Structure 1
C-alpha cells in the first residue's frame, strides 16, 4: 500500500485511527461518541479503548463509560485487563467508615439498577450503624451524620454509570429547580403521577429510560424527612 493509500485509509470515518483521534478530543461529547463507535467494532475496537483507559482520561464520565463498555463485553482478555488495572472500576471508592462499595460499582456497571438500588439502601444503613442495618431503613437524624466521602462515592457511582441521569446530586438539582416543592419533585422524577404514588417495584423503571433523577429511591411513604436530610446534606456544597 502506498503512503497516499495509507493516509486515505486512516481518514476513513470508521477507521480505528480516526476514532483514536476522536477519543483524544477536547470535547467530552466527541469522546463519548467515539466510545460508542469503537464499541460497535467489537473486538477490533477493544484495544483502542483499553489503551486510552490506561492513560486515565480526565473526565470521570468518559473513563467510567469506557470501563462499563469493556466490562460488559465479558471477553476474557478484556476482563483480565480490567481486573489487573481497574479491579474496583474507575471511580475512587472512598469511605470514612470502611464500607466496601465494590459490589455497588459492579452492579451499576452492569446496569442492574434494581439490585443496585437495593444495595444502595443497604449501604446507607451500614453507614448509619447496626440498628439501621437491622431495621433496614433510616432515621433522618442518622442521615445528617453521614460522612461526605461516602455520599460522594455512592453518588459518583450512580452518576458515572447512568450517563449522569441518576444520583442524589441529580435529585437535588431538580429539587432546587422546582423551588424545593416536594410534589413537583415527585412528578419530575417519576415517583408520583397526579395523586397516585408509583408502585414498587414494577411501577418504577429499572433502566436509563426513566426521567432524570428517577433513581436511587428513598422511602417517601415515611415522609420527606429522610430525603430532605439527604438533599440538604453538606456533602453537596463541598
Structure 2
C-alpha cells in the first residue's frame, strides 16, 4: 500500500460522515462498491471498516464482511493488522475440518487473490482429504469425492466464494450446472472451460482474476472426464 493511501487523505469530516452513513445504510451491492472509497479515505476509512467488522462479529460472514476483512488484511497498516489479529486470529471464515486439515494457507492465498496458487493448493487439500494414495498420485477418483466430509468441502467452498466476491466456488459451479440441466456440454462454455470444440488450456488460457466468468474457479481436473466434478457438484455438502 502506498503512503498516499495509508495516510489520511484530504477528505473533510463531512465527507467521511457521509461516506460512513452511505456504507452503514447501503445494500450489500452498495457496500461492496464503497469499500474502495473507504480505503482511499486512509486511516479514517479503515477505522470505519474496523468498527463495521467489530459490530458484525457475531453474525455469519457474508460477502461484505469478507471483503472488509480482505481490505484490512491487505492494507498493510499496523493498526489494521493488530485489529485483525486481536478480533479474528484465524480469519473471518471458520476453518472447519473433520479430518484435521489446516486450511489457513488456502485462506491466505485467496485473501491475496493469488487464484492460481490457491487453485493448485485446493487440489492438494482435496487429495489430502482423499488419503495417502490420492496425495501420491495428485489427482482424485470420483469415489473418493463421494466420501469427503461435509464440513471440509463447505470450508473450501466458503473460502473461495467469500474471498472472490461471490464469483467462484463449488456452490457457484453447482448453481450454473443445475441451471443448464446438468448438461456438461452447456456447462463447460458457461464457466469458460471450453470454447467451441477447444478445451481451455491449463494454465495460461485460464483467467486467474475476478474478470473470469462466474464459476470459472476452482478447477477440478476436468480432463479426466466428468465423474469427479459431477461427484463434487452432487455432494450432500450443498444441501445441508
TM-score when scaled to structure 2? 0.90
| Structure 2 counterparts to residues 128-147 of structure 1, below 5 A | 128-147=130-149
2:150 alignment partner in structure 1: 148
- How many Å separate the matches in 2 of 1:94 and 1:84? 20
**Deviation for aligned residue 1:92:** 0.8
Question: Aligned pair count?
Answer: 227
Asked whether the equivalents of residues 31 and 62 of structure 1 are also in contact (C-alpha less than 8 Å), the reply is yes
- How many Å separate the matches in 2 of 1:127 and 1:88? 21
Instruction: Give CA deviations for 1:168-187 in whole Å, capped at 9, x if unaligned.
Output: 00000111111111011110
| Structure 2 counterparts to residues 1-238 of structure 1, below 5 A | 12=14, 15-25=15-25, 27-56=27-56, 58=59, 59-238=61-240
Asked whether the equivalents of residues 70 and 78 of structure 1 are also in contact (C-alpha less than 8 Å), the reply is yes
**Deviation for aligned residue 1:113:** 0.3
**Deviation for aligned residue 1:163:** 0.7
- How many Å separate the matches in 1 of 2:215 and 2:34? 26
Instruction: Give CA deviations for 1:203-230 in whole Å, capped at 9, x if unaligned.
Output: 1000001100000001111111000000
Question: In angstroms, what is the RMSD of aligned CA positions?
Answer: 1.5
Unmatched tracts of structure 2, length 5 or more: 1-11
- How many Å separate the matches in 2 of 1:221 and 1:62? 35
Higher-Rg structure is: 1
Paired residue secondary structure (1:45): helix
TM-score when scaled to structure 1? 0.91
